[in-house]
Structure 1
Amino acid sequence: MSRAINLSIELPAALAMAEKEGVPLSASEQLPGGGCQVVARTSDGADTLRRKFKGKMIEGKVARYAFARLRGWA
């Protein structure tokens, strides 16, 4: 199962819950249509967040911001 979870809540609330539950994240981002995506470092961490955020998860595909590489960075 994926470690990425799309949520219908704002990013600060998701980050606070992950910290409260002791779940380290490898990535997080705000979604353009509202909500956020968090990526747990482990599948166990992702399972913990899925239980905590039951009812707040966005099912299916979501729009995300395009990745933009900064000039001058390798």
Structure 2
Amino acid sequence: MSRVVNVRATPDSIKTMCTKHAFRISALEELVSGGARVVLLDPRDADAFRVLMKDRLIEGSVTRSASHMARQWTPPARWK
């Protein structure tokens, strides 16, 4: 199962919930289309998070900030 969850919630409320339930966050970003994208370290935590946030889940595609691409590592041409 995926560790990524898109929800209609603020990053602060997500952090609070994850702290309360001892879920470990790998990445958290606010979405341009509204809501937030959270990546949890453990897929079981992601499943439990989905159950807790079932009324706020965002189904389908979302619009992410262009800055998320800047954080991704691109291997040098000689490695390809």
Q: TM-score, normalised by structure 2?
A: 0.81
Aligned to 1:45: 45
Instruction: Give the aligned CA root-mean-square deviation in angstroms.
Output: 1.0
Specify the alignment match of 1:28 in structure 2: 28
TM-score, length basis structure 1: 0.87
Structure 1 runs, 4 residues or longer, greater than 4 Å off: none
Residue of structure 1 in register with 2:70 after alignment = 68
Gaps of 5+ in 1: 70-74
* Structure (1 or 2) with the greater helix fraction: 2
Residues 6-53 of structure 1: CA deviation (Å, up to 9, x unaligned): 001111101110111100011000001210010110111101101110
Percent identity between matched residues is 38
Q: Give the number of the structure whose alpha-carbon radius of gyration is greater.
A: 2
